[in-house]
C-alpha cells in the first residue's frame, strides 16, 4: 500500500523544464458593459489516476504536510521561482481588453500569499524514531511546463528525462531524531549530491538505515536523466547507487523497490535501446479503424491516445525497461528480459516479486491501462516462477459504473502471509448491467502451488469487490460496493478457518456519513507490510481493533478512535477530537515498531490538530494518561489572515433538502457597521441517491482555512483598490465575503436519475444559498459572483443561463459546456447521449448560450489532459456566447493542463479574475428586481427552445470523441494511509 500511495503522489507531479520563449496567454474578449473595475478566485479541483493499479486509500485531505512512511514521492521543491513577463505596473486600462497581452500580477496582498514559501512534507521512519523534512519550493516557472512532451497512450512523457512530464521534486532532505519527550533532535542534512539537484521518490529501507531516492541535475543533455542515489541515515552522506554513470532510471511507470535492506530492484533505460524512432515523412498508408464484426464498443473520451504506428514505436521506446538488481556494495546484474513493466511488487517475505507489464497489440481508442496485460512471478534472485495471467486488450469495458475488466484483476500479496496471492474475477463478464449472483469471486493461492492444485475460493460477493484489509488467519475484512445504489458492505472472514461462516459487519449507504463506523487502523509488520492492528485491553482475550472515523455529525465532523470488539460489536470511544475549538484527526499508530501484541495502555498515535485560525501541527498521544506531545511548530502560512472569520452555515432548499456552506468573512469585518460585501460563491455539484444523505453535514467548522494558489479565499486579503480608482469606499468595497463549497446536491431517488432534474435542483440550491447570505446581511444582493473549476465551471455557466437574477457575473475555469461532445457518459452520468438525449441537451449551457446575459470569464489550459474538458469546450462556448452578443472573455493558458501549475499562469489567472470581479461584481449597479423578471421570461421561453436544442444536438459535435470527466468521483473503498 505504501508504494502504491507513492505512485499516486507521482501522478500529481510536474517536471522541471528548460527555458524557452514564453507565449503570453491568449485573450479573446467581447465587452459591452460601460462599467470598468476588477477581482476573483477559485478552488482548483484536479484528479489524476494510475492506469495500472487501483490504490485503495483513505482520502488524505487532512494530511497537509504528511507523506507515506516508507515511500515518499515527488512534491514541489527547489529551483528559482518563475517571473512574470509583464512589468510590475499592473494598472488596468481598457486597451488591455484587446486580443493578446502579457502575463500580469494580481494585487500585492494576493501575490504575497501565493508566493509564500511552502512548508516541508514529513515522512516517518519505519521504526518511528526519525522524521524526514522534505524541502520544497514555491510555484515553478512557466519555462518548466514549456519543455516538449510526448502524449502517448493516455500519459505525457518528458523524453529528455525519460519520465512523466512536469514532475515535481524536492530541493533537500533533513533528518531529525524523534526524542522520547516528543521533541526533535538537531537536523542531519542529506548531502553529497550536486548543488541544485532535484530529488524524487524518497524511499526508506526496511530497517530504516538507508534512504534511496532519484536525483537529476541538468536537463539539456543526458545529465537531466534520473539516477538512483542512496544515503546513510546516521550521517546523511549520499552517493550514487550505480558506479557506472550511464545507468539511468526509467520512471515512466514504476521506479525502484527495496528487496531487502541492501538490495534494490531498479527500472532502468536499456543500455541497448538505440536512437529515437524517426517519424516517416510519408506515411505507409491511411489510418484505419474497423468494426466489421459489429462489436459494441462504447468508451468514454480519453485524451492523448496513440494515433499511428509511429506513436506505438515511441511508446515502446520510452517505456521499455531493463530491470537491474543492485546491491549497496556495488554489485549489479540484469533481472529478466526488457519489457514495458508497469508495476514491481515484492512479496512480504521478499523472496518473490510480481512483475506486471503491458504489450502489443496496442489500441488507438483506449489508454495504456487497458492494453494487454501480463503478470508474472519471479524469485528475487532472478528466476522465473510462473505466469499468473495474460489478459487481452480491453477496449470493450462497458461505460456503466462498476464495470470492470474480464479475467484476474486486483492481484496482490496477502499482507499477513510470506508469499500468498489473492485476486478477484468477475462473474458478470465485467458488465455492471448484467444481473448475476455472485458477481465477483475472490481467489487465493500460494505463489508456488503443488502440481494440480487449484486456486481456493476465499469469498463470493454480490456487489463489486473493493479490497481486503488483512490481519491474520482468524481475521480479514472484505469490502464490496455498488455505485448505483451507493450500498457498501464490510464482511468479516476467517481466511484460515473454512468452518467459520463469513458475516456482514457493516451494511450501509456510502452516502450516509453519519453512520460511517470508521476504518481499521493498521500496524506495520517486521517485513514492512501493514495489517489490521489487534489491541488487547489488559487480560481480556477479546478481539478488538481500532476504528478511526471522521465522526460526521449535524454539528460537523468530530473525529474519533473506537476500540471495537469484532465478535460482539461493542464499542468504547478511547479518543475524540476537541469539538469546541479544535479539529483533530488520528493519523497513524506510533507504538507498532516492535513485534508482539499491542496493549491499550501502551498505545501511541500520531494526531494532527488545528483550528479556524491555527494551522496544522502534529502531536503524539500516549496512553494510559493520553499525554500529548507537540512535534512540529510550523509558522502560520499567511499571518495577514490569521484573524479571518469562518462559520459553517445551514439553510434549506425549497424542496426541504438541508444544505450547508462555509462562510468566510475578512478580518475585523462587522456587518452591522460595515454593511454587506461583494460575495464570491464558489462550489462544485455532487450527486446523491437520497435527500437525507444530501442534507448531511460534511466537514468541520474548526478546520484551518487552507488557501491554495488559486483559492477563492485569497480574496479575504483584498484590502485596497489595486487599479487606482476612487469611486468606492476602500474600507469595505474591495473586501469580499466568500461562500465556499455551498452544497449543490443533485438527487435521484429510487429509479430516478439525478441529472434528469439537474437544472431545477442546481438553481434551487443556488437560490437558497444566496438568500441565506443576503438575509445575514453579509452579501450585497446585486454583487454576488459565481465561480468554479471543471464541473464547477459547468455549474457556473448553467447558473448564469438559468438563474441570472442571482449573480452579477461568473468565472469558469477548465470546464465542459457541450455534453453532446461527451456522448458516452460524463461525470456520474453513465447513460449515453442516445439513451438520455434530452438530459444531455438540457444540461449543456452551450445550448443556452443565448440566455447568458451576465458577464462570464472563461479560463482554460491549452494542454488540458482531463477527459471531458478539452480546451475546445471553452473555445466553442466563447464563440457561442459571442455569437449572441454576450459579455465574455476567454483566456487560454499556454502549456497548462487541467489544473494550473506555473507561477506566471497562476498569477495571471488571479489578475484576470480579480479584474473581472472588480469590474462586474464590485462595481455592479444592476437592478436585482429587473434581473428576476428577466429570469422569469427566460423560463417561459424554455418550451420554445426544443427545436434549437435538437438542431444543436445533431450538429453540435455528437460525432466528436466522447470525454469522461472523472474528477470528483470517489468510488474506491477507503483504507488507512499507513
Active-site residues: which are they? 790, 864, 898
Q: Tell me how crowded residue 725 is: count the other CB atoms within 10 A of its CB.
A: 17
Grid coordinates representing 834? Answer: 442516445
C-alpha to C-alpha distances, 602 to 131, 178, 537, 705, 713, nearest whole angstrom:
21, 18, 10, 34, 42
Classify 491 in phi/psi space as left (phi over 0), alpha (psi -120 to 50) or beta.
beta
User: How many CB atoms sit inside 10 A of residue 83's CB?
Assistant: 14
Whether residue 247 contacts residue 232, with contact meaning beta carbons closer than 8 Å, is answered with no
Query: In 514-535, which positions are buried (b, 16+ CB within 10 angstroms) versus exposed (e)?
Result: eebbbbbbbbbeeebbbbbbbb
Reduce the DSSP state of residue 36 to 3 states and report it. Answer: coil
CA-based max dimension of the chain? 87
Give dist(CA 638, CA 635) in Å, integer. 9
CA 139 to centroid of chain Cα atoms? 18
What is residue 34's three-state secondary structure? coil
Q: Which residues of 467-497 are buried (b: 16+ CB within 10 A; e: fewer)?
A: bbbbbeeebbbbbbbbbeebbbbbbbbbbee
Cβ atoms 194, 215 nearer than 8 A: yes
Determine which helix (DSSP H) or strand (DSSP E) holds 374, and give its type and residue range.
strand 373-379
- Residue 135: phi and psi, rounded to 5, are -85, 140
Report long-range pairs for 633-638 (Cβ below 8 Å, ≥24 apart).
634/65, 634/119, 637/113, 637/116, 637/119, 637/707, 638/113, 638/116, 638/707, 638/717
DSSP string, 734-758: T--EEEE----EEE--TT--GGGGH
Strand partners for 323? 267, 335
Concatenating the DSSP letter of every residue in 927-960 gives -HHHHHHHHHHHHHTGGGGHHHHHHHHHHSSTTS
Residue 950 CB burial class (10 angstroms; 0-12, 13-18, ≥19): middle
DSSP secondary structure string for all residues of 102-162: ------HHHHHHHHSPPPPEEEE-TTSSEEEEEE--SPPPHHHHTS--EEETTEEEETTTT
Cell numbers describing residue 38: 476588477
Q: How far apart are CA 470 and CA 532, in angstroms?
A: 6
- Alpha helix ranges (H) inside 576-732: 671-674, 691-694
Q: Is 7 exposed, middle or buried (0-12, 13-18, 19+ CB in 10 A)?
A: buried
CA–CA separation, 610 vs 618, rounded Å? 9
Distances (CA, A) of 554 to 33, 311, 513, 697: 44, 54, 10, 5
Instruction: For residue 672, report the phi and psi dihedrals to the nearest 5 degrees.
Output: -70, -30
Rounded to whole angstroms, how far apart are CA atoms 299 and 12? Answer: 24
Which helix (H) or strand (E) segment holds residue 310: the answer is helix 309-319
Q: Collapsing DSSP states into helix, strand and coil, what is residue 680?
A: strand
| Three-class secondary structure of residue 791 per DSSP | helix
Euclidean distance between CA atoms 813 and 787, whole angstroms: 8
Measured between alpha carbons, how far apart are the two ends of the chain, in Å?
A: 8
Amino acid at each position: 500500500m505504501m508504494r502504491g500511495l507513492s505512485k499516486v503522489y507521482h501522478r500529481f507531479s510536474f517536471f522541471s523544464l528548460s527555458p524557452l520563449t514564453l507565449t503570453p496567454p491568449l485573450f479573446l474578449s467581447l465587452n459591452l458593459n460601460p462599467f470598468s473595475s476588477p477581482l476573483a478566485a477559485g478552488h482548483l479541483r484536479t484528479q489524476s489516476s494510475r492506469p495500472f493499479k487501483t490504490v485503495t486509500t483513505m482520502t488524505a485531505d487532512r494530511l497537509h504536510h504528511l507523506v507515506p512512511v516508507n515511500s515518499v514521492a515527488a512534491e514541489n521543491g527547489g529551483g528559482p521561482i518563475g517571473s512574470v513577463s509583464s512589468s510590475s505596473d499592473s494598472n488596468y486600462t481598457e486597451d488591455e481588453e484587446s486580443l493578446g497581452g502579457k502575463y500580469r500580477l494580481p494585487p500585492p496582498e494576493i501575490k504575497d500569499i501565493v508566493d509564500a514559501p511552502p512548508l516541508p512534507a514529513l515522512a516517518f521512519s519505519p521504526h518511528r524514531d526519525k522524521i524526514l523534512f522534505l524541502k520544497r519550493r514555491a510555484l515553478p516557472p512557466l519555462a518548466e511546463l514549456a519543455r516538449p512532451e510526448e502524449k502517448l497512450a493516455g500519459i505525457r512523457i518528458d523524453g529528455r528525462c525519460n519520465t512523466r512530464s512536469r514532475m515535481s521534486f524536492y530541493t533537500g532532505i533533513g533528518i531529525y531524531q524523534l526524542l522520547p519527550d516528543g521533541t526533535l533532535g538537531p537536523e542531519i542534512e542529506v548531502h553529497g549530491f550536486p548543488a541544485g539537484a532535484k530529488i524524487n521518490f524518497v524511499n526508506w529501507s526496511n530497517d530504516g538505515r538507508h534512504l534511496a531516492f532519484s536525483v537529476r541535475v541538468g536537463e539539456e543533455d543526458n545529465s537531466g536523466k534520473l539516477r538512483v542515489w542512496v544515503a546513510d541515515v546516521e550521517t546523511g552522506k549520499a552517493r550514487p547507487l550505480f558506479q557506472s554513470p550511464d545507468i539511468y532510471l526509467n520512471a515512466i511507470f514504476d521506479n525502484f523497490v527495496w528487496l531487502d535492506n541492501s538490495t534494490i530492484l531498479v527500472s532502468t533505460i536499456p543500455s541497448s535501446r538505440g536512437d529515437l524512432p524517426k517519424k516517416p515523412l510519408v506515411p505507409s498508408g491511411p489510418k484505419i479503424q474497423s468494426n466489421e464484426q459489429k462489436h459494441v464498443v462504447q468508451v468514454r473520451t480519453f485524451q492523448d491516445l496513440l494515433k499511428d504506428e509511429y506513436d506505438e514505436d515511441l511508446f515502446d521506446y520510452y517505456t521499455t525497461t531493463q530491470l537491474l538488481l543492485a546491491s549497496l556494495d556495488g554489485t549489479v546484474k540484469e533481472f529478466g528480459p526488457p519489457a514495458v513493466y508497469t508495476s514491481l511488487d515484492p512479496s512480504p517475505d521478499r523472496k518473490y516479486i510480481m512483475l506486471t507489464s503491458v504489450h502489443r497489440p496496442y489500441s488507438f481508442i483506449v489508454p495504456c491501462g487497458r492494453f494487454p496485460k501480463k503478470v508474472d512471478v519471479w524469485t528475487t534472485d532472478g528466476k522465473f516462477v510462473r505466469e499468473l495471467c495474460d489478459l487481452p486488450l480491453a477496449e470493450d469495458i462497458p461505460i456503466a459504473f462498476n464495470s470492470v475488466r474480464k479475467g484476474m484483476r486486483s492481484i496482490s500479496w496477502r499482507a499477513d502471509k510470506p508469499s500468498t496471492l489473492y485476486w478477484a474475477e468477475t462473474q458478470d463478464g465485467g458488465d455492471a448491467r448484467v444481473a448475476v449472483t455472485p458477481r465477483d469471486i475472490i481467489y487465493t493461492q500460494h505463489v508456488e502451488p503443488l502440481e494440480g492444485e487449484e486456486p481456493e475460493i476465499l469469498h463470493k460477493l454480490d456487489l463489486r469487490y473493493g479490497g481486503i484489509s488483512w490481519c491474520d488467519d482468524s481475521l480479514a475484512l472484505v469490502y464490496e460496493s455498488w455505485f448505483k445504489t451507493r450500498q457498501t458492505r464490510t464482511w468479516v472472514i476467517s481466511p484460515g478457518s473454512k468452518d467459520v461462516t463469513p458475516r456482514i459487519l457493516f451494511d450501509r449507504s456510502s452516502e450516509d456519513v453519519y453512520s460511517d463506523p470508521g476504518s481499521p487502523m493498521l500496524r506495520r509488520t517486521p517485513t514492512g507490510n501493514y495489517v489490521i492492528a489487534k489491541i488487547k485491553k489488559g487480560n481480556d482475550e477479546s478481539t478488538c481493533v481500532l476504528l478511526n472515523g471522521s465522526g460526521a455529525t449535524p454539528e460537523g465532523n468530530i473525529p474519533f478512535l473506537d476500540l471495537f470488539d469484532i465478535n460482539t460489536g461493542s464499542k468504547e470511544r478511547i479518543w475524540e477530537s476537541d469539538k469546541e475549538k479544535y479539529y483533530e484527526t488520528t493519523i497513524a499508530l506510533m507504538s507498532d515498531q516492535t513485534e508482539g501484541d499491542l496493549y491499550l495502555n501502551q498505545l501511541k498515535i500520531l494526531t494532527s490538530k488545528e483550528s479556524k485560525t491555527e494551522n496544522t501541527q502534529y502531536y503524539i498521544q500516549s496512553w494510559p494518561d493520553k499525554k500529548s506531545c507537540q512535534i512540529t511548530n510550523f509558522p502560520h502560512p499567511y499571518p495577514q489572515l490569521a484573524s479571518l472569520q469562518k462559520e459553517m452555515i445551514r439553510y434549506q432548499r425549497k424542496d426541504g433538502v438541508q444544505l450547508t456552506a462555509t462562510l468566510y468573512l475578512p478580518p475585523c469585518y462587522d456587518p452591522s457597521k460595515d454593511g454587506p460585501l461583494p460575495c464570491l460563491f464558489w462550489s462544485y455539484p455532487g450527486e446523491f441517491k437520497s435527500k437525507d444523505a444530501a442534507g448531511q453535514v460534511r466537514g468541520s467548522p474548526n478546520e484551518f482555512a487552507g488557501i491554495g494558489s488559486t483559492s477563492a479565499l485569497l480574496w479575504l486579503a483584498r484590502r485596497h483598490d489595486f487599479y487606482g480608482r476612487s469611486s468606492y469606499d476602500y474600507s469595505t468595497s474591495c473586501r469580499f465575503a466568500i461562500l465556499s463549497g455551498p452544497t449543490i446536491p443533485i438527487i435521484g431517488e429510487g429509479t430516478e436519475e439525478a441529472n434528469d432534474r439537474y437544472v431545477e435542483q442546481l438553481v434551487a440550491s443556488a437560490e437558497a444559498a444566496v438568500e441565506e447570505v443576503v438575509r445575514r446581511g453579509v452579501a450585497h444582493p446585486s454583487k454576488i459572483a459565481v465561480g468554479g473549476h471543471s464541473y464547477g465551471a459547468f455549474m457556473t455557466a448553467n447558473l448564469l443561463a438559468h438563474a441570472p437574477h442571482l449573480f452579477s457575473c461568473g468565472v469558469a475555469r477548465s470546464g465542459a459546456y457541450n455534453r453532446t461532445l461527451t456522448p458516452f457518459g460524463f461525470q456520474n452520468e453513465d447513460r449515453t447521449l442516445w439513451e438520455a438525449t434530452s438530459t444531455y441537451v438540457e444540461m449543456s449551457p452551450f445550448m443556452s448560450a443565448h440566455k447568458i446575459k451576465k458577464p462570464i470569464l472563461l479560463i482554460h489550459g491549452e494542454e488540458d489532459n482531463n477527459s471531458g474538458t478539452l480546451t475546445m469546450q471553452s473555445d466553442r462556448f466563447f464563440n457561442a456566447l459571442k455569437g449572441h452578443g454576450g459579455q465574455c472573455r476567454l483566456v487560454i493558458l499556454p502549456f497548462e493542463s487541467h489544473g494550473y501549475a506555473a507561477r506566471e499562469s497562476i498569477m495571471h489567472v488571479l489578475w484576470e479574475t480579480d479584474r473581472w470581479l472588480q469590474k462586474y461584481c464590485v462595481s455592479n449597479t444592476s437592478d436585482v428586481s429587473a434581473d428576476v423578471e428577466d429570469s422569469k421570461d427566460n423560463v417561459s421561453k424554455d418550451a420554445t427552445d426544443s427545436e434549437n436544442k435538437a438542431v444543436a444536438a445533431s450538429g453540435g459535435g455528437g460525432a466528436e470523441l466522447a470525454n469522461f470527466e472523472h474528477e470528483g468521483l470517489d468510488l474506491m473503498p477507503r483504507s488507512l494511509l499507513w
